[in-house]
Each structure stands twice: as structure tokens, then as C-alpha cells.
Amino acid sequence: MTLLGKQFVMLLERCSSEFITNPDLVIDSVTSVATTCGLNIIEICEHRFKPEGLTFILLLSQSHLAVHTWPEHRIMTVDLFVCQESFDIESFLNRLLGISGALCANKVCVFEK
């Protein structure tokens, strides 16, 4: 059977203040992790909330990656849907942990078909 895709939702908590309060750093870092892990970015769409917070979406040739931040709580969520059977989600999550300085993370596979 052909894999249609997998969806993962990740919650990164206690991110470093320097990371989570800098929207440009968040976008650049997550984009870099995505490309390093073999994801092909087609387009980026972002919205910066006032006074703080960020939502951005990477439209991928493999599907999408959406990121939401709550700097006041030092939290970042990542929703990744990938139509690539060989994608290494553990490597992706470990790289996110490294760039964000998060002290803990949870990952759930929401969909696999």
C-alpha cells in the first residue's frame, strides 16, 4: 500500500527566551531545520501577533509545516504533515530541540495512512 502521509504534532516547552521572543530567529531556524531534513519549501506565510507571538506556515512539496509560538509561556507548537515515507521525524524533532533550547517536548503521530 502506498503511504499517503503522516501528520505529527509537537509541543516544545520551556524554549529559551532568546529564541522564542525573536520571530525572525524562529522562522530562520525552523526553515533551516526543515531544509536540512530534506523538506522542500515552496512558500512561507507568516503573521506576527501584537504584542508577541507568531504563526507561520511552510508550504512544502511534501505537504505543510505550521508553527505557533506563545513567547509569554515559552511554548512553540509544530504541526507537520509529510508525504514522504522515509522522513526521519526523530531527527527533525531533535534538531528543533537543539535550536529552540526547549527543555521538554512531546510528539504525537496524529495520522498515518
Q: Given 29, 63, 86, 100, which residue is catalytic?
A: 63
From 68, 73, 104, 109, active-site residue? 68
Q: Which residue has 498515518 as its cell numbers?
A: 112
Active-site residue, from 15, 83, 86, 104: 83
Instruction: Tell me whether residue 17 is one of the annotated catalytic residues.
Output: no
CA distances from 112 to 29, 54, 81, 105 (A): 27, 28, 10, 20
**Residue 109 annotated among the catalytic residues of the structure:** no
Task: State how far the Cα of 17 lies from the Cα of 89, in Å rounded to an integer.
Answer: 25
Active-site residue, 68 included: yes
DSSP conformation letters of 11-39: EEES--HHHHT-HHHHHHHHHHHHHHTT-
Q: Which residues pair with 107 in a beta bridge?
A: 10
* Residues catalogued as catalytic: 63, 68, 83
